[in-house]
């Protein structure tokens, strides 16, 4: 049955003030040494796609052999954390001009179809063989891993680059497809691919890791591949959610972001340990914006107001990617916004959101999917009844949340509600979302 939210009355049994839905914040006694205490390390229901980008030139035979067992241990570690994972493999050597003429510069395994079977991934690793040498096609392999691997649209994206040689310098003929370090970093960031690097101590390799939110590990030094992948698994297994809202008017894009960790609590700010950057891309290119914290008590909200008039003239759709680093833990998210003027009857009516709920003890959080054409979202709640009757129909409450896409807080024992959402713009409202329940037992 689809609930028709026709009324906006209130009753004592369903009082839910906006202030009661503020997410509780964590203690301020936080450092990079104990940051995992504030993160969500259960990871149940979280999706991660992990693509290994592997150098198979002659000097890498030892790493190939080790990876055959290391990938199983890595997969077991993230599966134990509850992560729904898919794995992929890209191998690379060098372009013909810089090595053997019968060599493939990169090879996307399984035609880019990722696998959720660690043993299948191990089989791909076992089929690798080391051979040859030259100026290796590191940059092309990364670029094609982004474009040719079949990443899931609803999964976080991780690349693990493993190689013992740095990329050929920008402009070198061995970068036959014209890739540059800056260009590949932009591709990775714009597609939300956090890239961990196991490689030589080289500025380009460090930049690829640092500027995409990944970690750098020097190959063949203090740890072997198995030990390094164990560290990466821990970085993947503990995470947090980026809760962003956007508002556009008269050429200004206002961005507000909070970071939600364990038990749906807002992470406290850690000076020097938390960095947020938003990249906005349109037909005119890309701009980057740094977000600065606004701290109220223990709660931190990160804000920025950006001039995006350059995008308005050429493209009414602007792609946004947010990269967040909390100590060594990084998360990215992507969104598409319609930043041009809303024209009634011309701008498409937004799609109905999809609502999901999270309840932990007395803490509840409701979030919903976004639509690029939405100008505001409405949140609805009503008392639960089964079968649904006038107790619900006559007591529906509505809150206009602007472009905010989640709401949460602490509720009383015995609270049992229906919740839903709706998006809207100048062309009209969407259909209602699915109806979910929030129950505090």
Q: What is the mean pLDDT of residues 173-187?
A: 91
Q: What is the mean pLDDT of residues 235-253?
A: 84
Q: Are 318 and 280 in contact (CB under 8 A)?
A: yes
Q: Which tens digits make up the pLDDT trace of 132-155?
A: 776 789 999 999 999 999 999 888
* Main-chain dihedrals φ then ψ at residue 218, nearest 5 degrees: -75, 130
Q: Which CATH class is domain 12-24+346-439?
A: mainly beta
Q: Which has the minimum average pLDDT: 164-168, 210-214, 247-251, 257-261?
A: 247-251
For 157-220, what is the HEC assignment?
Answer: EEEEEECCCCCCCCCCCCCCCCCCHHHHHHHHHHCCEEEEEEECCCHHHHHHHHCCCCCEEECC
Q: For strand 106-108 and strand 406-410, is the pairing parallel, antiparallel, or unpaired?
A: unpaired
For 43, 171, 212, the CA distances from 198, given in Å and listed in that order, are: 25, 24, 14
Q: What is the DSSP letter of 82?
A: T
* The pair of three-digit structure tokens given for residue 365, joined into one six-digit string: 């959080």
Q: Which tens digits make up the pLDDT trace of 4-27?
A: 333 333 332 233 323 334 333 334
d(CA 436, CA 356): 7
Neighbours of 162 (CB within 10 A): 22
Q: Are 425 and 265 in contact (CB under 8 A)?
A: no
Q: What is the mean pLDDT of residues 342-364?
A: 89
Q: What is the mean pLDDT of residues 236-248?
A: 85
Residue (of 245, 242, 241) closest to 377 by Cα position: 245
Where helices occur in 278-426 by DSSP H, the ranges are 309-314, 390-393
Q: Which tens digits make up the pLDDT trace of 274-293?
A: 999 998 887 777 888 899 99
212 vs 12, which has greater pLDDT? 212
Q: Are 20 and 366 in contact (CB under 8 A)?
A: no
Q: Which tens digits make up the pLDDT trace of 16-61?
A: 323 334 333 334 478 899 998 999 887 677 899 999 999 999 889 9
Is 241-338 in the same CATH topology as 12-24+346-439?
yes
pLDDT (0 to 100) of residue 288 = 87
- Cα three-residue angle 57-62-67, rounded to 5 degrees: 95
d(CA 86, CA 333): 18
Domain locations along the chain: 12-24+346-439, 42-237, 241-338
CATH of domain 241-338: 2.60.40.10
d(CA 87, CA 118): 8
Q: What is the mean pLDDT of residues 166-178?
A: 88
Query: Cα dihedral sign for 93, 96, 101, 107?
Result: positive
269 has a pLDDT exceeding 60: yes
Peptide bond into 387 cis (omega under 30): yes
Q: Which residue has the tokens 């803490």?
A: 363
**What is the CATH superfamily name and number for domain 42-237?**
von Willebrand factor, type A domain (3.40.50.410)
d(CA 114, CA 119): 13
Q: For strand 193-199 and strand 274-282, is the pairing parallel, antiparallel, or unpaired?
A: unpaired
Query: Is residue 148 helix, strand or coil?
Result: helix
98 has a pLDDT exceeding 60: yes
* The pair of three-digit structure tokens given for residue 209, joined into one six-digit string: 């890791």
Q: For strand 274-282 and strand 406-410, is the pairing parallel, antiparallel, or unpaired?
A: unpaired
d(CA 135, CA 195): 21
For 31, 70, 198, 273, 328, the CA distances from 235, given in Å and listed in that order, are: 16, 16, 15, 15, 7
Average pLDDT of the residues of the chain: 86
d(CA 77, CA 86): 13
């Amino acid at each position: 049955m689809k609930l028709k939210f026709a009324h906006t009355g209130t009753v004592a049994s369903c009082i839910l003030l906006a202030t009661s839905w503020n997410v509780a914040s964590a203690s301020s006694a936080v450092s990079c040494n104990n940051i995992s205490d504030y993160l969500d390390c259960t990871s149940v229901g979280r999706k991660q796609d992990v693509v290994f980008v592997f150098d198979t030139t002659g000097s890498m035979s030892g790493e190939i052999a080790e990876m055959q067992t290391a990938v199983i241990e890595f997969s077991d570690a993230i599966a134990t954390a509850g992560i729904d994972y898919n794995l992929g493999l890209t191998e690379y050597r060098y372009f013909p001009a810089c090595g053997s003429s019968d060599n493939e510069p990169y090879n996307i395994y399984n035609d880019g179809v990722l696998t959720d079977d660690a043993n299948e991934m191990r089989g791909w690793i076992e089929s690798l063989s080391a051979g040859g040498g030259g100026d290796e096609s590191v940059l092309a392999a990364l670029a094609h891993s982004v474009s040719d691997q079949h990443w899931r649209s609803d999964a976080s994206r991780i690349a693990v680059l493993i190689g013992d040689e740095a990329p050929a310098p920008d402009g070198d003929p061995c970068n036959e497809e014209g890739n540059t370090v800056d260009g590949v970093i932009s591709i990775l960031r714009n597609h939300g691919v956090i890239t961990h690097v196991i490689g030589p101590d080289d500025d380009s390799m460090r930049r690829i890791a640092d500027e995409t939110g990944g970690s750098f590990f020097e190959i063949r030094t203090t740890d072997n591949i198995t030990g390094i992948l164990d560290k990466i698994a821990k970085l993947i297994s503990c995470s947090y959610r980026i809760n962003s809202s956007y508002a556009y008017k008269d050429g200004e894009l206002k961005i507000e972001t909070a970071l939600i960790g364990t038990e749906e609590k807002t992470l406290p700010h850690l000076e020097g340990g938390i960095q947020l950057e938003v990249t906005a891309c349109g037909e005119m290119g890309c701009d980057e914006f740094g977000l600065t914290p606004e701290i109220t008590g223990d709660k931190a909200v990160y804000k920025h107001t950006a001039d995006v008039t350059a995008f308005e003239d050429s493209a009414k759709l602007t792609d946004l990617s947010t990269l967040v680093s909390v100590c060594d833990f990084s998360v990215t998210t992507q969104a598409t916004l319609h930043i041009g003027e809303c024209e009634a009857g011309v701008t498409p009516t937004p799609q109905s959101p999809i609502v999901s709920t999270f309840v932990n003890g007395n803490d509840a959080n409701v979030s919903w999917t976004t639509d690029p054409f939405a100008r505001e979202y409405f949140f609805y709640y009503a008392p639960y009844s089964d079968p649904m009757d006038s107790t619900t129909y006559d007591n529906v409450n509505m809150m206009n949340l602007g472009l905010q896409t989640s709401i949460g807080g602490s509720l009383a024992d015995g609270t049992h509600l229906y919740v839903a959402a709706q998006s809207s713009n100048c062309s009209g409202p969407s259909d209602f979302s699915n109806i979910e329940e929030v129950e505090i037992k």
